[in-house]
Structure 1
Amino acid sequence: MSLPEIVSRERWRAAREELRRKEQAVERARAALGAERRRLPMAEVADEYVFEGGDGKATLLDLFGDRAQLVVHHFMFAPEQEAGCPCCAAFLDQIGPLAHLRARDTAFAAVSLAPFTRLLPFKARMGWTVPWYSSSPGDFNRDFEATVDRAGAPAERPGLSCFLRDGDRIFHTYSVYDDALDGIGALWGLLDLTALGPRPHGDGRLRLHDEYDH
């Protein structure tokens, strides 16, 4: 295992300050990018998508509750699977209570292709309380590019989509997919601060949180 160089505390502080100046430049660039993201145009959602959740059928508008914004986690869970994607599960593990989002007028929900009867026992197994809906058999996943064509066959990919409402009108404001989610959740961000970084441990495979042996 390759470890960092061992130096005096004074040399460490000097190196840390040099790196901090670079971090501050990245933070300024990230803030500017966030402002640019919020200036993106938005597209009105014309279709009335129908989902199935804990309270039965729900529309996309229902997923907002009484909030102005909605963040949807495109959780990879195919209809034929018994368990969800470990990477998506690791992301959802980091969400926790939704009070902070709701206090900022934002709702959150996970959406998957699997029927709700498959989602419910897996949600209970994972101990999650976030709202989770099945989009099957509708076109929501494909319309928002969580289902794409790869090698001539449909394939799922993880993602987040953001929506804004104005009365009963809904607008799609942003989406992000695949590895770009790593910079949003806390897991990889925390590991990236450490000396060893997000390197594999053991066999390196990301598991569901109840499948680790330590």
Structure 2
Amino acid sequence: MKPTATPPIVDRDEWERARAELLLREKAHTRAGDALAAARRRLPMLRMPPVTVVGRDGPLPLQEVFEGRRMLIVYHFMWHAGAPHEKQCPGCTHSQSAMNAAVRAYLAARDVSYAVFSSGPWDELAAYRDFMGWTAPWYSTADSTALPKIRNGGDLRCYLRDGDEVFQTYETKWRGIEAMLPTLQLLDLTVYGRQEKWEDSPPGWPNQDEPGSWWDRDGRPVAQWTRL
């Protein structure tokens, strides 16, 4: 559909002035993010009790999920037990689509492993991961009782391994996981943004959708159409 409105058209000098003004705000935003990251690194940590998860080779302790590295990032994938692939969480599917082998290799270069946990049965999780063509290690927490309380999914947690002990150092949810969604970061750079209702857009901009509603298309998560 052709947009009903566009930004005003100006000459190069006026555009450069407007861009320079925005750049000052962008730099301030970046510095504020750096300060938050510094505070995040200074959070205290929580000692984890013994935790067992189930992976490709059966049960294993949380320490082994680190794959020999000191740090671990875990995403908790929302799971609908017994549901077909097209009925699994579109938001979690969106978040995992960018976590390819290259991204994980860069994390590993800084001593960080990445894994996906889910409360679903292992055989269902493995079938979905394979259907999507993902290679990140997945683990079932269906029989794990010592993990920190989470919603059914959509949570991101960071851990540190010190010898035989594991500590939780950070957690986030909701918009906090947008670091895993480069699609959204890129859309934020475009003139019409994410085109969601919560955004502050000028009058006449394209119709705004409910947040995340466009992550499904024709009854299944968008990323699944690349697999069919």
Same fold (TM over 0.5): yes
Counterpart of 2:122 (choices 116, 124, 130) is 116
User: Where in structure 2 are the equivalents of 1:15-54 lying within 5 Å?
Assistant: 15-46=18-49, 48-54=50-56
Aligned to 1:169: 165
- Which amino acid counterpart does residue 96 of structure 2 have in structure 1? L
Q: Match of 1:40, SS?
A: coil
Deviation digits for residues 46-85 of structure 1 (CA, Å, limit 9, x no counterpart): 2x22111112112111100110000000111132333331
Aligned to 1:137: 143
- Which amino acid counterpart does residue 56 of structure 1 have in structure 2? G
Aligned to 2:60: 58
Aligned to 1:95: 99
Higher relative contact order (CA 8 A, sep 6+): 2
Aligned to 1:182: 178
Q: Percent same amino acid at aligned positions?
A: 35
Unpaired runs of 5+ in structure 1? 148-155
Shift of 1:183: 4.3
Deviation digits for residues 183-208 of structure 1 (CA, Å, limit 9, x no counterpart): 44311111101111112699842132
Deviates further, 171-180 or 80-89: 80-89
Aligned to 1:211: 225
Q: Match of 2:215, SS?
A: coil
Identify if the C-alpha distance between structure 1 residues 66 and 30 changes in structure 2 by more than 3 Å, giving closer, same or farther. Answer: same
Distance in 2, Cα, partners of 1:119 & 1:45: 24
Distance in 2, Cα, partners of 1:176 & 1:22: 25
TM-score (norm 1): 0.87
Aligned to 1:86: 90
* 2:71 and 2:160 in contact (8 A); partners too: yes
* 2:98 and 2:180 in contact (8 A); partners too: no
* 2:45 and 2:167 in contact (8 A); partners too: yes
Distance in 1, Cα, partners of 2:180 & 2:93: 14
Deviation digits for residues 159-187 of structure 1 (CA, Å, limit 9, x no counterpart): 10000011011101000012221244311
- Which amino acid counterpart does residue 167 of structure 1 have in structure 2? G
Q: After TM superposition, what 4+ stretches of structure 1 lie above 6 angstroms from structure 2?
A: none
* 2:157 and 2:170 in contact (8 A); partners too: yes
* 1:78 and 1:114 in contact (8 A); partners too: yes
* 2:118 and 2:153 in contact (8 A); partners too: no
Aligned to 2:190: 194
Aligned to 1:158: 154
Give the number of aligned pairs.
201
TM-score (norm 2): 0.82
Deviates further, 201-210 or 129-138: 201-210
Unpaired runs of 5+ in structure 2? 197-205
